[in-house]
Structure 1
Amino acid sequence: MATISSLGIGSGLDLSGLLDQLEDAENEKLTPITEQKESYQTKLSAFGTLESSLSSLRDAVSKLSDPETFTAVTSSMTGDAVAVSTTGEAVAGRYQVDVTQLAQAQSQASNTIFDSKSDELGISGTLALSVGDGDAVSIDYAEGDSLEDIRDAINGADAGASASIVNDGNSYRLVLTSEKTGTDSEISLSGDTDAFGFSTTVEAQDAQLTVNGISITSQSNTVEEALQGVTLNLTSTTSGAETLTVSQDTESMTEAVKAFVDAYNSFQSTADNLTSYDAESDTAGTLLGNSTMRSIESRLRSALSFGTSDGTYNMLSDLGIERQLDGTLEADDDKLNEAIASNSDAVSQFFAGVDGEGGFAASVDDTMGTILDDGGLLEIATDGIDATLERLDERYTRTQESITATIERYRTQFSQLDQLVSQMNSTSDYLTQQFESLNAQLNQ
């Protein structure tokens, strides 16, 4: 008998539909595994959100651990001739700055003029070029070289001077310019220079200025350490003394402390969302009751209670930073600003300690390390989830393979049933035909 290619064709029964129902029922075995995977993946995502929040908090704490945060200064000039940058070593005060001369680089141009910058010059020789106390660099040129070739050779020699070609409207000249300003960077030429006849067109010049009446000479227009911790960038001469004011940057200090408070409150908000419970909707946060979450919150609460007997300020509350009933921090702006303005060194000692040790920030960072560093609480928790997800993937695969084998077995059995019923139907039809024929004969 021919093989039945589609279930139910031979028997007329809805065996395909029945097989589909059985397959759907078998696939229900995968549902609890899928739900478990989704639950663990959601938890893994929650730990990722938590880690991001904790990393931001650690960054804010790191800022407080830097003593320079509390030695920051700000500066201003009354004019535009001098731009100023400062470090934490700058001393607060007012300074009179008068710039009488800017530093400039020496420039030499060839007295010989050339009709073309790209044609062969038909001259050869060697130029020995040095800048200041630097070693002389030899630049060879041949008869087949053009002015452009000689320019490129000088620029490629790294001699401390750059070469360019100037077109005066009628002809071309080779120009050499020192890469540094000041009289210590004058250009010296020797060798076969007659073909060019260089002469100085711009004299090397040092910057000349006075600070509070004291004369200062600088090779560069960037004047460092004329004032401790201050860099003066000269852009033009002054028509009279300009006033430089250097003062403590209490605003940036306050912002650093408030950034820590904000970062902690952001972490607390994240933690609250992850551990919340809504009785009305019976919905729980992803990490509600999670032991790792509880441990992290406990360790950070303990870190905030840091206290020291050294220094003017011994705990956060001394600076006006108090923990609220909801777990957040709140800063008393007046108390904090007064502490920073009156004794920023003591504030620095509380947060940054002495030589980076013993302060609040270092203590909190140590706690953060037990949470965020390799082998910390988060890594242990997420590694455990990853291992569980891997086991669930393996279980899912095994279950799916078992379901596939079961359905194939059902398919084979249904096919055999289809063929058997088809054979029985054929036999029934044959017997019915024979009986009808026999009955007709008897009636006759």
Structure 2
Amino acid sequence: MSGLGLSGLISGGDTRAIIEKILRYELERIENRERDQQKLEKKQQAWRDVRSALTNIQSKLDALRLPFVYRSRKVTLTDESVATISAAQGSALTSYSLAVLSLAQTHVITQRDDRVVANPNAQLGISGTFRIGNDPADLKEITIEADDTLHSLADKINAANAGVRANVMAAGPDSYRLVLTSDASGTANAIRLEEVAGTPLQELGLLSGGGSIANELSAAQDAVFTLNGIQYVRATNTVDDAVPGLTITLKKVTGAGNPVQATVELDPDKVLESVKGWVDAVNSALSLMAKLTSYNTETREAGILNGEMQIRRLQTTLRSMVANEVSGLPHNWRTLMDVGISTGAYGSADYGKLVIDEKKFKEALAKDAEAVATLFGAMRVNPALEPGTSITVIGTGDGSGRLTDLINGVTDSDRFGSTGGGWEGVGAPSEANPHVIEITFASARTIDQIVLYQPDNLASLKAFTLEYWDETSGSWKALATVDDYNGAVYTANFDPKTTSRIRLSVTATHGDAPVRLTEIQVGQYNRGAAAEMSRYLRQLLDVESGMVENREKTLASQIKRIRDTIGRLEEQLTARQKQLEAQFARMEEALARLQAQGNAFAAMLMGFYS
């Protein structure tokens, strides 16, 4: 409140105090609204913290909801001084016998000892032209002049980009020489020198009189090694093209009779690290939400989000997802609890959290990492591969006689045209005569993906429709319709549908070719914890309609309304204060006039009596 212009000097009353008492009720209304605003702002911040915690979970799920981490590999060697080997995800789990016969070397040459110079900046007094490089078809020409020095000659060679690096090295006190080093190792990258005009290379002591290298410090040499008895020759000691997925760095020669053993294995520690990161993120979020919704019966203090049912449901859902069942798995596994991930027992310190039994989990990985990946939702069960599935074709003949190849799990093109490698129809389909392939599952399945694989160089699909049989209506319903497709692999993702049959209807192909397919892969809807939790969090955090977003918007709207109310109340309070100040000012003025009149009357009486 602004200061008052009056203080009750005439009336004898404290007008400031009187006005403040009159306005006290209005002030309390504002203070109550401010307290409401502060509480809502704390709730708003709490929901932001919840959002951050959920976003952290989502980031940890990125590794677990895709199959790659479950295919992590490590390589162990019986002698790690011989080589280091890394394996890409999904590399074959097998063993190799490695023998190193020679290591790749870089070609290094220098001047003869009798041609070193005392001062690298002194003029050499040599002139002529020579060629240098390691590609016979692309040697670079260098002209040396009488006033060149070792340093200037090295600069000329380096500027030529001939695949050879020149350096001036100290060979001893007052002794310097030019050293030439090939940029790459291997015999194919040996340094080549040719005289063009004069004999500058011989005069420098790089070539002998017969034209051979005068002083070789390191011979150009290839790496030679064997893997399981098969010999390989490479220009470098790092080899990534001998075995798909393996990168081998050779370090020491073993000889043919002393090989080391290399074993490619699953790397359970990488998988465990990703799983623990997810578990920690979930537990951190659960702890945060427990704090925000807590209630202390002794102090009667409640967490800022106590009573908000959305948080309670969120806590329950996150914990319960480890119990999500995934059908179609071996080993009688159905949930993550079967492989060592569960909720803490009631009454234990871990109650209400996720707990991982590391030993049990690693044992499960060693037993069947692909099944563990499916439990997390990183891989789908393909019901078309299950026993009892049948496949038929309508509108065309079975040109290859191998229709069942479309549901055998082989997706690549390498075997197309041979048994197990795919199917080809007879003639071209049309609108009037579509070629229809129908798959009937052993029992009803809930699916959300179909992938069509075609041979890479013979892809023909152009216009087609994917459908599922709707048991309720007793009719076929479309999942995807394509009018002009040009790729080799088509993926249709859709909302989960429960059905016993699907079909592919092809009405046109490119160039009127027959329908050619290597596989029709069906993806069963996976409720694995990582996939399901990722879907759930994506819905919660959606910026348009997510629960967290809506809650934050609601709080922001409530805060704005309170701020607007406070603003109006403050305006009313200011107006009321000004009104009271004016009223008290007029009262003081009236009292002042009465006092003046009284004083005048008293003076008149005094004059009368005197």
Say whether the fold is shared (TM-score over 0.5).
Answer: yes
Q: Give 1:38 shift.
A: 1.6
Q: Higher mean Cα deviation, 242-251 or 324-333?
A: 324-333
Contact 2:323 2:337 in 1 (8 A): no
Q: Give 1:142 shift.
A: 8.8
| Aligned residue in 1 for 2:232 | 216
Counterpart CA distance in 1 for 2:261 and 2:152 is: 50
What letter corresponds to residue 220 of structure 1 in structure 2?
T
Contact 1:207 1:219 in 2 (8 A): yes
Which of the numbers 226, 230, 235 marks the counterpart of 2:246? 230
SS of match in other structure, 2:328: coil
| Aligned residue in 2 for 1:369 | 538
Counterpart CA distance in 2 for 1:23 and 1:379 is: 40
Distance verdict in 2 for CA 1:156–1:387, change over 3 Å: farther
Which of the numbers 366, 370, 379 marks the counterpart of 1:353? 379
Q: How many residues align?
A: 436
Counterpart CA distance in 1 for 2:170 and 2:238 is: 32
Counterpart CA distance in 2 for 1:142 and 1:422 is: 115
Deviations 1:368-397 (A, max 9, x none): 211224332222222332333334334434
Matches within 5 A, 1:20-419: 26-77=26-77, 78-109=79-110, 130-132=133-135, 151=154, 155=158, 160-168=163-171, 169-170=173-174, 172-188=176-192, 197=204, 198=206, 201-238=217-254, 241-297=259-315, 299-300=317-318, 303-312=321-330, 313-323=333-343, 327-331=352-356, 335-351=360-376, 352-354=378-380, 358-359=525-526, 360=528, 361-375=530-544, 376-415=546-585, 417=587
Counterpart CA distance in 2 for 1:144 and 1:401 is: 92
Deviations 1:10-67 (A, max 9, x none): 6465444555666766443332332222222212222222223323333343332232
* Structure having the larger proportion of residues in helix: 1
SS of match in other structure, 2:225: strand
What letter corresponds to residue 369 of structure 1 in structure 2?
R
Contact 2:136 2:192 in 1 (8 A): no
Which segments of 5 or more consecutive residues in structure 1 lack a partner in the other structure? none
Distance verdict in 2 for CA 1:415–1:84, change over 3 Å: farther
Q: Higher mean Cα deviation, 238-247 or 71-80?
A: 238-247
Distance verdict in 2 for CA 1:79–1:327, change over 3 Å: closer
Distance verdict in 2 for CA 1:115–1:433, change over 3 Å: farther
Higher RCO, Cα 8 Å, sep 6+:
1
Alignment identity in percent?
27
Distance verdict in 2 for CA 1:22–1:228, change over 3 Å: same
Q: Give 1:175 shift.
A: 3.6
Counterpart CA distance in 2 for 1:368 and 1:84 is: 39
SS of match in other structure, 1:216: strand
Contact 2:100 2:224 in 1 (8 A): yes
Counterpart CA distance in 2 for 1:422 and 1:153 is: 107
Distance verdict in 2 for CA 1:145–1:299, change over 3 Å: farther
Contact 2:341 2:355 in 1 (8 A): yes
Distance verdict in 2 for CA 1:438–1:363, change over 3 Å: same
Contact 1:304 1:364 in 2 (8 A): no
Counterpart CA distance in 1 for 2:229 and 2:124 is: 54
Distance verdict in 2 for CA 1:147–1:395, change over 3 Å: farther
SS of match in other structure, 1:179: strand
Q: Give 1:157 shift.
A: 6.1
Distance verdict in 2 for CA 1:401–1:121, change over 3 Å: farther
Counterpart CA distance in 1 for 2:584 and 2:156 is: 89
SS of match in other structure, 1:286: coil
What letter corresponds to residue 347 of structure 1 in structure 2?
V
Q: Give 1:129 shift.
A: 5.4
Deviations 1:307-326 (A, max 9, x none): 23322133234334445566
SS of match in other structure, 1:180: strand
| Aligned residue in 1 for 2:500 | none
Distance verdict in 2 for CA 1:14–1:88, change over 3 Å: same
Distance verdict in 2 for CA 1:333–1:115, change over 3 Å: closer
| Aligned residue in 1 for 2:495 | none
Counterpart CA distance in 1 for 2:134 and 2:606 is: 126
Q: Give 1:6 shift.
A: 5.5
What letter corresponds to residue 101 of structure 1 in structure 2?
S
Deviations 1:106-139 (A, max 9, x none): 2344677666666888999988654448856677
Which segments of 5 or more consecutive residues in structure 2 lack a partner in the other structure? 208-215, 382-448, 450-522
Q: Higher mean Cα deviation, 282-291 or 362-371?
A: 282-291
Distance verdict in 2 for CA 1:301–1:122, change over 3 Å: same
Contact 1:10 1:419 in 2 (8 A): no
| Aligned residue in 2 for 1:8 | 7
Deviations 1:267-305 (A, max 9, x none): 333333333333333333333333533553465467544
Q: Give 1:75 shift.
A: 2.9
Distance verdict in 2 for CA 1:81–1:35, change over 3 Å: same
Contact 2:224 2:234 in 1 (8 A): yes
SS of match in other structure, 1:76: strand
Q: Give 1:364 shift.
A: 2.8
| Aligned residue in 1 for 2:477 | none
- Scaled by the length of structure 2, the TM-score of the pair is 0.59
Distance verdict in 2 for CA 1:412–1:166, change over 3 Å: farther
Contact 1:10 1:421 in 2 (8 A): no
SS of match in other structure, 2:185: coil
